[in-house]
Structure 1
Amino acid sequence: MDTAAARARLQEALADADRSIAILKGEHPERENSASDAGAILTDSDRVEAALESLERHRAAVVRALERIAAGTYGRCVDCGEPVPEGRLEVRPEAARCLTCQARHDKAMR
């Protein structure tokens, strides 16, 4: 496991998330609040809010992964302690769980 490469990828992902969040927070639909536009404004606002929430969750996962690198626990499942497969970390360097524990976690979140 090359933690230097993982750190670089995570720092790049963090910078990308920060840029995207800043852009979305800066978007303000400049439409008149007429009755015909009210639904469109709400829909645009809802989409921006959903995108922001998703980006902020991703950003938090990236920050936690960088913290695991600093603590020397990166690449280990936060639930069972087993190694997270390198292929999984290659695709999702912020991954905190092995596939088995991630499936359990996802099922519990439903």
Structure 2
Amino acid sequence: MKNVFASIAVSCALAISGSAYAAGEMGNIDMGSSGAKQAGEAKAGMSHGEIKKVDAAAGKLTIKHGPLENLGMDAMTMVFKVKDPAMISQVKVGDKIDFVAEEVDGALTVTKLQKQ
């Protein structure tokens, strides 16, 4: 009978200490700032560039840009299609922009665009 009570006491002690350990490990997780973190990540996912040429007829922009991390490309000047033709009217030569370029149907395409 003593062994049964001793086994129960040891089992309870182990269960409680395991729960306390797990709760302590969760203490470093920041659950409150996920919205701000996502907004920061979205901005961080954008590349920076300067409009060098606007070709409204072809729906293309020539952009001198920094690294395109999502595409694994270094800084250079290149031509991009635009996802939305309305983007063409938002910019002019010399404008500084933040943008996201993705490969769409085999063509590098500006999918998001913001003037700085």
Q: Normalized against structure 2, the TM-score is what?
A: 0.23
Q: Which has the higher helix share?
A: 1
Q: Normalized against structure 1, the TM-score is what?
A: 0.23
Greater C-alpha radius of gyration: 2
Q: Which has the higher strand share?
A: 2
